[in-house]
Structure 1
């Protein structure tokens, strides 16, 4: 079995969050979705479980951070700079806040960021395949 990642995120409005992620190209998997949670598929190995606050509370007693907190940044690889830019722009049009962190431009790689409607930060990024194989250029590592 291939290893997979399931990112679990608490959300205020499940329908709004589903529409947001669908606008970015995620696809809902109804087999793992109901009125309290939705499984949003990014790839065959990456799934985002968006959970209503009451559903989230069944998994942990820890408090849900407010939307201004910075707890984690979730990075998604893209196939091109254009795809990075398109995803960030789609996030803005779908109700997210784009470029919540500075745009990163390093020549061999670049990334942008956006916050979803619940403040979860995502970073679409692109890296030159040659740099992924050999590592960043020496000047980038300094």
Structure 2
């Protein structure tokens, strides 16, 4: 079995967050979703668990961080093309997120942008041409 990742994010408004993550390419898995959590599937190996603050608090004794005031993690998600990077950021901005809180990065062989979700979590969609990497690195 391939190793999988489940990113757990606290969200203030679960229905709003589900709509946002659907708009950027996630599909809600009803088997692992209820009125306190939603499993958003991006691939066979990448899942984002959206948890109400109350549900999230059940997994940690630490306070829930305000992602708009502090950074704990930056989430990078690979894309198949530059166009897919741009489309994801545009979809995020159209559904209540913020486009490009960080600078765009274009290194020829690698292209990336960023967006904030409605709760302030920062995502960095990126595309990389692995075949061009050795030439660029040399």
Q: TM-score, normalised to structure 1's length?
A: 0.93
Residue in 2 aligned with 1:22? 22
Runs of 4+ in 1 over 6 A off after TM superposition: none
What stretches of structure 2 of length at least 5 have no aligned partner?
none
1:66-77 correspondence to structure 2 within 5 Å:
66=66, 67-77=68-78
Task: State the distance in 2 between where 1:3 and 1:27 align.
Answer: 19
1:8-87 correspondence to structure 2 within 5 Å:
8-66=8-66, 67-87=68-88
Q: What is the aligned-residue RMSD (CA, Å)?
A: 1.2
Task: State the distance in 1 between where 2:6 and 2:135 align.
Answer: 27
- Summarize deviations over 1:63-117 as a string: whole Å, max 9, x none: 1111221111100000000000010010000100010011111111010000000
Q: TM-score, normalised to structure 2's length?
A: 0.95
What stretches of structure 1 of length at least 5 have no aligned partner?
none
Q: CA deviation at 1:131?
A: 3.5
Task: State the distance in 1 between where 2:25 and 2:75 align.
Answer: 16
Residue in 1 aligned with 2:89? 88
Q: Tell me whether 36-45 or 56-65 shows the greater mean CA deviation.
A: 56-65
